[in-house]
Amino acid sequence: MHESTGGQATVSPAISFAGVARACGYRAASAGSSRVALDEFLGVADGPALLHFRTRRGVPEGLPRPDVRPREVKQRLMRHIGAEAPWRDH
């Protein structure tokens, strides 16, 4: 779900992210939601690897909201990967 924007549903319940990863050639791919599943995955995963880890709904008390605008996010990413590019509004 898109928790940060109001809890809208996504199509993720209908998608096997682990299946997609396996189809793309990942050596290890699984789904889980417990510490045990995470520990087991980390113990055997030899990249490339994907763990679709399900989390609880909700936002921790006092979690700050992002204060960076989309344009700034893009510019920061472009600088980070060394591909300066102007912002294009479509």
Give the pLDDT confidence score for residue 23 in this predicted structure: 97
Q: What is the average per-residue pLDDT within 2-28? A: 88
State pLDDT tens for residues 44-76.
Answer: 867 799 999 888 888 788 888 788 888 898 888
User: CA separation (Å) from 64 to 5, 14, 61, 73?
Assistant: 13, 30, 9, 17
* Residue 79 counted as domain residue: no
* Residue 48 counted as domain residue: yes
Number of structural domains (the chain) is 1
pTM exceeding the 0.85 threshold for the entire prediction: no
* Residue 27 counted as domain residue: yes
The answer to whether 38 touches 51, Cβ cutoff 8 Å, is yes
Give yes or no for residue 24 having a pLDDT over 90: yes
Grouping H, G, I as helix, E, B as strand and the rest as coil, residue 15 is coil
* Residue 86 counted as domain residue: no
Give whichever of 20-24, 27-31, 49-53 has the largest mean pLDDT.
20-24
Contacts of 66 (CB under 8 A, 6+ apart): 4
What would the DSSP string read from start to end of 37-77? HHHHHHHH--SSEEEEE---S---TTPPPP---HHHHHHHH
* Residue 34 counted as domain residue: yes
